[in-house]
Amino acid sequence: MPVKRINVSAPHQGLFDFTQQVASVVRETGITEGLCTLFVQHTSASLVIQENADPSAKKDLECWLNRLVPERDSLYTHTLEGADDMPAHIKSALTATSLGIPIYNGQLALGTWQGIYLWEHRRHGGQRTIVIHIGH
């Protein structure tokens, strides 16, 4: 399958579920066993597999990461793009910009409570592009 790109809307900081978009791409391929590789083409967002049932888990993750990487740290020199920009780059470096998910029986091999999320680290995000590759 050729590489496919999808867009995920992330208008603000937080985790945005795009599991169904990826599952749809997997179904379109007809591949029953393989690997789905995802890559976010941005330096201030990341990808994560996380709890999909209780929204408080996402909120707690966001609060924890904001406490770990605060805005306006006096050590930052990259400040021209706003107070949230350098922290967003650090958060992206600490998390993941790509994920690999097995495909089993034609479906993503996610657990019952797992979802695929774009984690937007800027206060004002936007459209984020995810590259999807499905291979045998």
Please count the other Cβ atoms lying within 10 Å of the Cβ belonging to residue 51.
17
CATH number of 4-135: 2.60.120.460
The set of residues, in sequence order, having a beta carbon less than 8 Å from that of 35 and lying 6+ positions away, is 100, 101, 102, 103, 134, 135
Q: What is the pLDDT of residue 1?
A: 63
Q: Which residues of the chain have pLDDT under 70?
A: 1
User: How much is the pTM?
Assistant: 0.96
Q: What is the pLDDT of residue 136?
A: 86
31 within 8 A of 129, measured Cβ to Cβ:
no
Q: What is the pLDDT of residue 23?
A: 98
Residues 38-64: tens digit of each pLDDT: 999 999 999 999 999 999 999 999 999
Tally the C-alpha atoms within 13 A of residue 47's C-alpha that lie toward its C-beta: 21
Q: What is the pLDDT of residue 125?
A: 94
Q: Are strands 14-17 and 114-120 parallel, antiparallel or unpaired?
A: antiparallel
